[in-house]
Amino acid sequence: DAGVTQSPTHLIKTRGQQVTLRCSPISGHKSVSWYQQVLGQGPQFIFQYYEKEERGRGNFPDRFSARQFPNYSSELNVNALLLGDSALYLCASSSTSGAEGGELFFGEGSRLTVL
């Protein structure tokens, strides 16, 4: 079975541009979470969606938004890109909405470089 797939794997943008990152969860998983991992740091939670509803939001500005589609895939959008948005963006899926029981399965990430 396919794992969590993310696209694109790498992309380069310039300041002020907008970017959309995509994530397909493992088949049957209804929860998708997004994390930002800046070089040399641990991942930081951005959003969680479960059954197409937002279940959690991290401490990120409104330039960051996400949505989940009926097939449970998800998009993360970042507007007005800043140099500091350069990072690895990780998507994770789970079969449950809470941490108990369900394991988070991570994709390999989308590496965004903002010039």
Partner 1 sequence: AQSVTQPDIHITVSEGASLELRCNYSYGATPYLFWYVQSPGQGLQLLLKYFSGDTLVQGIKGFEAEFKRSQSSFNLRKPSVHWSDAAEYFCAVAPAGAQKLVFGQGTRLTINP
Cβ atoms of residues 17 and 82 within 8 Å? no
Cβ atoms of residues 4 and 105 within 8 Å? yes
* One residue of 1, 53, 62, 100 binding partner 1 per CB under 8 A: 100
* One residue of 4, 76, 78, 112 binding partner 1 per CB under 8 A: 4
Q: Binding to partner 1 by residue 110, rule CB under 8 A?
A: no
Output helix, strand, coil percentages for the chain, rounded to the nearest 5: 5, 50, 50
Lookup: tokens for 109:
């990430």
Q: Scanning residues 60 to 89, which ones bind partner 1 (CB under 8 A)?
A: none
**Residues belonging to the chain:** 115
Q: Binding to partner 1 by residue 56, rule CB under 8 A?
A: yes
How many CB atoms sit inside 10 A of residue 23's CB?
Answer: 27
* One residue of 21, 92, 112, 114 binding partner 1 per CB under 8 A: 92
Q: Binding to partner 1 by residue 31, rule CB under 8 A?
A: yes
Q: Scanning residues 9 to 28, which ones bind partner 1 (CB under 8 A)?
A: none
* One residue of 55, 60, 67, 73 binding partner 1 per CB under 8 A: 55
Lookup: tokens for 76:
């993360």
Q: Binding to partner 1 by residue 104, rule CB under 8 A?
A: yes
